[in-house]
Structures are given as C-alpha cells and as structure tokens.
A and B are shown apart, each in its own frame.
Chain A
Amino acid sequence: MKRYSIGAMAALLVSVAMPALAADLTIGRAAEPSSIDPQFSRTGNNQGTAQLMFGRLIEQDANLQISPGLATEWTAVDDTTWDIKLRDGVKFHDGSTMTADDVIFSLERTDEVPNSPAPFSDMVSSIDSMEKVDDLTVRITTKEPAPALIEDIGRVFIISKAAAEGKTSEDFNSGDATVGTGPYKFVSFKPGESLTIEAFDGYWGEQPDFKEVEVRFISNDAARVAALLSGSVDLIDAVPPADVARLESQDGINVVSAASGRVIYLGLSQRFAQAPGVFDLDGKPLEENPFRDARVRKAISLMIDRQLVVDRILGGAGVPAGQLVPSVLGGHAEDLGPDQVDINKAKELLTEAGYPDGFGLKLYSSNNRFPGDGDLVQALGQMLTRGGLKVMGVEALPYNVYSKAASAGDYGAFVFSLGSSTPTSAPNLSSLIQTYDKEAGTGAFNRVRFSSEEFDKALSVALQEFDPEKRNELLAEATRIAFAQTPIVPLYWQKVFWGAREGITINGGLSEYTLAQDVKKTD
C-alpha cells in the first residue's frame, strides 16, 4: 500500500516540478574541480574553473601570456618595493567596487587556506609586507629582490573581502562566498555533475558570447564524445586523439586543436652510482651508472624517431620537442630543435663512452596518465633496440603506483610528463633540472637528479633580471647550456583537441583550459 502512495505522490510532484533551465551553452568537460574556492588548489582543473568567475591582477591568454588584468601598472620603486596600481571601477558580482583592501585580503588568505592539497603559497612567499597606499594602490615590500613578483601574485585569484572574510572553502561551493570580478557569476555547483554560471553584466572586460552556461563533468572519453554527437552538449574538451578523425568527418561537428605545454620526456636517472634496471650484456646489474655520462644520454636521444612516435602512436597529436617549453612561451630557445635520428652518431657516442656493444636496460612508464603512454614506451623500447641497446623489459603501470616509485628513484629509464602553467619556462626549468636541494627548495621534480653548476648559475642570473625581454633571453641561454648535456630526453609536446557543434568554436590554447568566455559564435 505504501508503495502506491509514494507512487501517487511522485506522479503529483512531477506535475509541479520546476521546468528545466535551458542553458545557452552546455560544455562537457573531462575533469571537475575539487572546489570552487579559487585559492584552494592550483591544479589545472581548479584554475580553469576559477577563471570563469574570478579575476586576477594580470590576465593570461590561452597561451599563458600575460596582460594587465585587475592591475593596470606595476612599478618597482626600488629593488624590494613594488607599487601595484589597480584598475578603476571594477565591480564584484554583488555590485560592490573592488579596492586595495580586497587585493590585500586575497593575497593574505592565499597561503592560509586550510588543508589545501596544492596551495598557491609560492605565489606570495616573496612578500614581506603589504600596505594600502590609497583605494587603488597597493605597496608590496619583498623579502629579496623579486623581478617576477607580478607574475607570481598575478596568478592569485582576487576574492571579495566582504563576502569571503571568515568563510571556508565549503562556503564557496555553496556560492555564499563566491563573489569575484570575472565574466561569469556563480549559479550552482553539483559535485561530480555540473557547474552552472551566468554572464555578469557589470564585468569590466568584454561580455562573453553566451549568457547561461552549464559545464557538465563527463570523465569517460567515449561518453563525452557520445554526448557531443547526440547533441546533449555543445562543446567537449580532451577529445581522445583516436576519435579526432571520426569527429572531423561528422557533419555539424568541428574539431579545434592546440599545442599544449605538456612535454613528454624520457628520464635517465643520474641519481645513484648504479642505475636501477640497467644491466650489462649478460644481464647482471651494471656496476657504474651509464646515464651519468652526457654522451650516453645524447646517444639515446639520437636513437628516438620523434616524428614516427607522433604520427603512429598519437595519430599526429603531438609536436616533436627538443626542450621543455614550446615556442609560444617565454624562454624557448629557437635554435634548439628536436634531435633527429642518427644511429651512427649514437653508436659513436656510446663507443666513446665505453659501451661499444651497448648495455641492457628496462623501460618504465605510466599507462593512464596521458594518451598513448603505454604504447609510447613499447615504441621507445624498439627504437633503443634498433639503436644498439639491449632492452630487457618494458613495464607500464597505473599512474598512482608509478609516480611514487619514479619519484623515489626506483627506475633508471622512465617516461614522464610535465605541464606548463606559467608564461615562461622559469618554473619548469627550476623544478625539473635545477640541482636538487631540499634546503634551498630547488629541483622539486628533478627525478633524474641532473646537476650542472653552469646551468644553475645561468638560471639564477635569469631569475634576477628585471626586464622581461632580457629575462626570456637569459632563460633561453640557460636552456641551451642545460640541453647541451641532455639533462632529460624531451620527446614531444602534446596536442589537445576540442570538439564543437557547428556554429561555435573555442579559442583554445596551451593552457588547455575550456573557458566559457573563450567560446565564440561563428555565425
């Protein structure tokens, strides 16, 4: 009997239920943010979500290049003092005007968000003190000269002091504290399901093309593609390379591609006196670590046919790489192209290094981190065999298991990737190939423990340079010094794809963000 009454009530309620809100634009996104609090985590998913609703002191375009945002001018008064001029008349979503108080509050809260799994702390770590000069001027004193201060603090999302003071990350998820200056206003967030936003009339910049936007989180690749094909979403990101050709051939669907800043590389560990997974020709562990010899590293780089990898394994979804960051980022060294296959030269180098007949090694990779990672390591195995090394095994593991072992130095030769989220190569150079030093906090992801005094010096000179153009040149120079010794073997930069129904397109770029304000009508 009870069941009947519930059924009857359900039938009743159906008739009074709210009508579904039709969004102007529905986006199917692969990854969801862990929080709406823009200062909670600086992983790509979260930043790519926060940018919908929150503004920053400087804006980044799709290729991460910076332009004035909420700050219009920044001048160095002396080596450790900066004056930051704020944009006049910027409105928050609640109608209040943004002032220096909000900026100071935001920067102060940055490293105080409790339990943040990926804090923005470094962005504000050089700040010694902040002072409000007037409503639109903030004076910042740094602990040491910090030429790139604006790039650092410019990455922090500015929140409203009035709305967010004393609030937790959860208050942002519910929308209570979600008051920003961005092009979209928060409407609702359902974890694991969707985020709904609405264009903000008082936005200081250009009004976006679409007013009501729903972002749905569809993690499964095939399901995301199907959602686009069935018309239930208008645009999807992270189109799997294997599906690109099919979507392109479909009527009414366009594919947009962009080179990403994620470099896939082969790490050759110089960490220990003996490299794990490296053997002599009889299969016994090799007594010395061959990867400590730059000639061996170069030889391996010369054995790899990057174009073949990109064409055959990724279906063209990559750009062969010879350094860390692609050409659109600052610090890219124009003359440093990818190594071309040269087996003879590789043989020569190996002979010089004392391995005329090569040596044995095992290759390791993740199998669920980026498209084709499991296949990539197989192909590398064959290429190294052709180059005269004895590949004794290839192993691909899930990323959550693999990453810990790779960082612990369990692998001698391993495939890894590194994404870019900054306008220049500086942070990547510093975390990946600067000498590992726990005290100084450098080389955090230098898993191979490459170390070159000359490079470290060149990098620190570059980081002290105040003139941005000059700094980029110095970064390129440091890159040249490092890559003369092949610190890692760069393979390729990924390409990323978006699929869109006819009539819309996205201005996508290296950041890989799928921002509603970048989606444009084409008709």
Chain B
Amino acid sequence: MTAFLIRRLVQAVIVLIVTSVIVFTGVFAIGDPLEILLPADASMAEREQVAESLGLNDPLPVQYLGFVTDALQGNFGRSFVYNRPATEVILERLPATLELTFTALVISLVIGIPLGLWAGVRAGSATDETIMTGSILGFSLPNFWQGMMLIMIFSVTLGWLPSTGRGETGTILGIETSFATWDGLKHLLLPAINLALAQTALVIRLTRTGVQETMPLDFIKFARARGISSPRILFVHVMKNILIPIVTVIGIEFGSLVAFAVVTETIFAWPGIGKLIIDSINALDRPIIVSYILIVVTMFIVINFCVDALYSLLDPRIRVSAQ
C-alpha cells in the first residue's frame, strides 16, 4: 500500500511539472498581455513601466525559472489584472463553484438513480421509453441553450426564480455559502439544475444498464429463491453491484464540473472559478491561468485517489486483492 502511495505521489509531481511547462509556454505563445491590459492611449513609457513591473521583459526560460522558484515557496505569482496573489483570487471563488457543483451532483443522484432503477426494472415498458427519451434530451441539448431556456421560463415568463448572481450569502461553520439564506438558495436553484441536467441523464443511463446487466445474474435468482423481497433485492443487492461504475464516472465528472462549469457560470453570472478562468484566458492573465490549471490537475489527482479508495469500500473483492 505504501509503495502504491509513493508511486502515485511521484506520478503526481511529474504531471504537475509537465503541466506547468506546457501551460506556461502555451500562454506565452498565445499573445502579449500588454496588448490587452494597456489602455488605447498608453504611451511608450507606460508600456515599459508595466512590462518591467510585471516581469514581462525577461526571456521565457528566466520567467519560468522565477515562477518555479516562487512556486516552491508556495507563491504562484500575482494576477496581472487584479494584482493579488493568484491562488487567493482562485480560492476566493472556489466555494461558489463547489456549492454549485455539489448541489448539481446531489440533484443528479437523487433524480437519476431512482429513475434509472425504475427504467432498468421495467426495461422495454412505456415508462422505460419515456425516461430514456428524456435522458437523450438531457444529453443532446446544448448546456448553453438549456440555461437560456431555464431563464426564459422560470425568470422571464414565470418570474419565480432569479437568473443572475449568487444572491444573499450567509455563513455556516465559518464558510460563506448560499445554503444559509432563502435568497441564496433561490439563486442557486436554476444554475444547479442547468448543471445537473446532463449529469442526471448520465446517471440514469449508467444505472439502467447496470440494473439490466445484474438482474439476470445467478445471485439474484438465488436471492429470489431464498424469498428475499423485491425491493430489498433491488435496493441492496443490485445497488451494491452497480455502484462501482457510477462512482467512477461521477467522480471524474465531479472534477470536470468543478473545473469547467464555465458555460453555466457565465450564463447565470455565478461568481465561480469557471467564469474566472475564461476571463483570465481572454486577458492572458498568466499567473491565474497557470495556478488554476495546477489546482485543477491536483484536484483530479485527489479525486481519482478517492475513487480508488471508494472502490475498495464498495467491493470486498478489491479490498481483498489489495491486501
């Protein structure tokens, strides 16, 4: 187990170094931040002053070495645009994204798993057809369009829910969150549903397939023969066996949702990191882009690790083979 951990750690460090080089040179190659930061009537002297203070005059390798030296001391540079530590700018917006993603994930599981089970048990019935067709819509309609439709229906036409921003936040256990106020929850609902739609469709399909594959297996027949009730078979025995693929996919998807909830955050003006990264790429704010990507890579590494750990909890066979 220790050897496994150490190998994982070494891999993670290599991935981080390679990523930083690629992103650093990539952003450098795209364009010149000065072109975007400076006002149209900036003079040569001002241009020089800015280039000097942001350290853009040095050749690329020198800039990179400086970055690595600082990064090893935990300093990922200051944002060109905001002149604040890049990690601070990112972490400040992370809670907003996390609560949005978490809510979306909960919605997709709460709706997706029961519907998937239902469709799987009644495969071929009208119910199954309806659920499956619905899930196709969840997949195939563009996220952007779904978001606009939600706004048009629930904000513009019905006027039930607000369409922009995070609303009033409160603090629970020292964390600022929308969960703490009614207004915050109302603001959270539409973007969370928007983010959850495709996710729900995915969960439905995974669950349905799992149920269909598991139901004909021998152990289910034996369970029936022993007289175990149908609900217990479905919710305990079948569920246990189909959760592994769901956990894997959801784990990875959670990472993607956190990192790339860009569309939803932009449409609903949600002050999270997805919106930040798009703005930063447009402004070529390199410290933010590099730190962001490194944070996301780290997050994926951690999530993958957690998923592996969950496997062994869910499946005794994996637990045994690991020991």
CA distance A20 to B49 in the complex (A): 44
Cβ of A13 and Cβ of B170 under 8 Å apart?
Answer: yes
Cβ of B276 and Cβ of A192 under 8 Å apart?
Answer: yes
Measured CB to CB, the closest approach of chain B to A468, in angstroms, equals 19
Cβ of A13 and Cβ of B172 under 8 Å apart?
Answer: yes
**Least CB separation from B158: chain A residue:** A230
Q: Which of A293-301, A337-345, A398-406 contacts B (4 or more CB under 8 A)?
A: A398-406
CB < 8 Å neighbour of B84 from A125, A170, A407, A431 = A170
Cβ of A441 and Cβ of B267 under 8 Å apart?
Answer: no
CA distance A134 to B279 in the complex (A): 47
* Residue of A20, A220, A402, A442 with most partner-chain B CB within 10 A: A220
Measured CB to CB, the closest approach of chain A to B23, in angstroms, equals 15
Query: Across the interface, which residues of B come within 8 angstroms of A368, CB to CB?
Result: 282
CB < 8 Å neighbour of B45 from A122, A218, A402 = A122
B interface footprint on A161-200 (CB within 8 Å = 1, 0 otherwise): 0000000011000000000000000000011111000000
A77 interface residue, CB < 8 Å from B? Answer: no
What is the total number of residues of chain A having a CB less than 8 Å from a CB of chain B?
A: 72
Cβ of B279 and Cβ of A219 under 8 Å apart?
Answer: yes
B268 interface residue, CB < 8 Å from A? Answer: yes
Measured CB to CB, the closest approach of chain A to B274, in angstroms, equals 10
CB < 8 Å neighbour of B163 from A34, A119, A121, A223 = A223
Query: Across the interface, which residues of A come within 8 angstroms of B185, CB to CB?
Result: 14
Identify which of residues 209-261 in chain B touch chain A, using a CB-to-CB cut-off of 8 Å: none
Given contacts A119-B49, A226-B156, 17 further A-B pairs with CB under 8 A are A17-B182, A116-B50, A116-B53, A117-B54, A117-B80, A117-B81, A191-B82, A192-B93, A192-B272, A216-B165, A219-B266, A400-B30, A401-B31, A403-B35, A421-B41, A431-B40, A444-B44
CB < 8 Å neighbour of A14 from B155, B167, B181, B269 = B181
A232 interface residue, CB < 8 Å from B? Answer: yes
CA distance A445 to B159 in the complex (A): 48
Query: Across the interface, which residues of B come within 8 angstroms of A18, CB to CB?
Result: 168, 170, 181
Cβ of A10 and Cβ of B32 under 8 Å apart?
Answer: no
Taking A17-B168, A399-B36, A400-B36 as contacts, is the C-beta distance between A217 and B284 under 8 angstroms?
no
Cβ of B168 and Cβ of A226 under 8 Å apart?
Answer: no
Identify which of residues 124-172 in chain B touch chain A, using a CB-to-CB cut-off of 8 Å: 148, 151-152, 155-156, 159, 162-168, 170, 172
B42 interface residue, CB < 8 Å from A? Answer: yes
Identify which of residues 222-269 in chain A touch chain B, using a CB-to-CB cut-off of 8 Å: 222-224, 226-227, 229-233
A interface footprint on B37-52 (CB within 8 Å = 1, 0 otherwise): 1111111111101100
Closest 7 pairs between A and B when the two form their complex, measured CB to CB: A192-B271, A441-B44, A403-B35, A230-B155, A404-B31, A117-B37, A193-B271
Measured CB to CB, the closest approach of chain B to A275, in angstroms, equals 21
Measured CB to CB, the closest approach of chain B to A214, in angstroms, equals 9
**Least CB separation from A417: chain B residue:** B40
B283 interface residue, CB < 8 Å from A? Answer: yes
CB < 8 Å neighbour of A217 from B30, B41, B269, B283 = B269
B208 interface residue, CB < 8 Å from A? Answer: no
Cβ of B269 and Cβ of A216 under 8 Å apart?
Answer: yes
Cβ of A400 and Cβ of B284 under 8 Å apart?
Answer: yes
B interface footprint on A25-50 (CB within 8 Å = 1, 0 otherwise): 00010000011000011111000000
Measured CB to CB, the closest approach of chain B to A261, in angstroms, equals 10
Cβ of B269 and Cβ of A121 under 8 Å apart?
Answer: no
CB < 8 Å neighbour of A17 from B44, B78, B180 = B180
Cβ of A20 and Cβ of B167 under 8 Å apart?
Answer: yes
**Least CB separation from B176: chain A residue:** A190
Measured CB to CB, the closest approach of chain B to A64, in angstroms, equals 12
CA distance A401 to B27 in the complex (A): 10
**Least CB separation from A47: chain B residue:** B39
Cβ of A444 and Cβ of B43 under 8 Å apart?
Answer: yes
Query: Across the interface, which residues of A come within 8 angstroms of B36, CB to CB?
Result: 399-400, 403
CB < 8 Å neighbour of A193 from B43, B45, B89, B165 = B165
B275 interface residue, CB < 8 Å from A? Answer: yes
Measured CB to CB, the closest approach of chain A to B81, in angstroms, equals 5
A418 interface residue, CB < 8 Å from B? Answer: yes
* Residue of B30, B35, B170 with most partner-chain A CB within 10 A: B35
CB < 8 Å neighbour of A122 from B42, B159, B266, B272 = B42
Cβ of B53 and Cβ of A115 under 8 Å apart?
Answer: yes
A372 interface residue, CB < 8 Å from B? Answer: no
A284 interface residue, CB < 8 Å from B? Answer: no
B83 interface residue, CB < 8 Å from A? Answer: yes
B70 interface residue, CB < 8 Å from A? Answer: no
Cβ of A14 and Cβ of B283 under 8 Å apart?
Answer: no
Measured CB to CB, the closest approach of chain B to A36, in angstroms, equals 11
Query: Across the interface, which residues of B come within 8 angstroms of A218, CB to CB?
Result: 164-165, 269
CA distance A419 to B40 in the complex (A): 6
Cβ of A119 and Cβ of B156 under 8 Å apart?
Answer: no
Cβ of A444 and Cβ of B42 under 8 Å apart?
Answer: yes
**Least CB separation from B275: chain A residue:** A192
CB < 8 Å neighbour of B148 from A111, A222, A399, A402 = A222
Query: Across the interface, which residues of B come within 8 angstroms of A34, CB to CB?
Result: 81-83
A118 interface residue, CB < 8 Å from B? Answer: yes
CA distance A41 to B117 in the complex (A): 57
Cβ of B83 and Cβ of A117 under 8 Å apart?
Answer: yes
Query: Across the interface, which residues of A come within 8 angstroms of B308, CB to CB?
Result: none
B58 interface residue, CB < 8 Å from A? Answer: no
CA distance A402 to B20 in the complex (A): 24
CA distance A17 to B170 in the complex (A): 6
Query: Across the interface, which residues of B come within 8 angstroms of A122, CB to CB?
Result: 42-43, 45-46
Query: Across the interface, which residues of A come within 8 angstroms of B181, CB to CB?
Result: 14, 17-18, 20
CA distance A377 to B181 in the complex (A): 49
B67 interface residue, CB < 8 Å from A? Answer: no
CA distance A335 to B281 in the complex (A): 43
CA distance A220 to B151 in the complex (A): 13
A208 interface residue, CB < 8 Å from B? Answer: no
CB < 8 Å neighbour of B92 from A14, A169, A191, A227 = A191
Cβ of A226 and Cβ of B148 under 8 Å apart?
Answer: yes
Cβ of A121 and Cβ of B46 under 8 Å apart?
Answer: yes
Cβ of B35 and Cβ of A407 under 8 Å apart?
Answer: yes
B64 interface residue, CB < 8 Å from A? Answer: no
CA distance A407 to B44 in the complex (A): 13
Cβ of B172 and Cβ of A9 under 8 Å apart?
Answer: yes
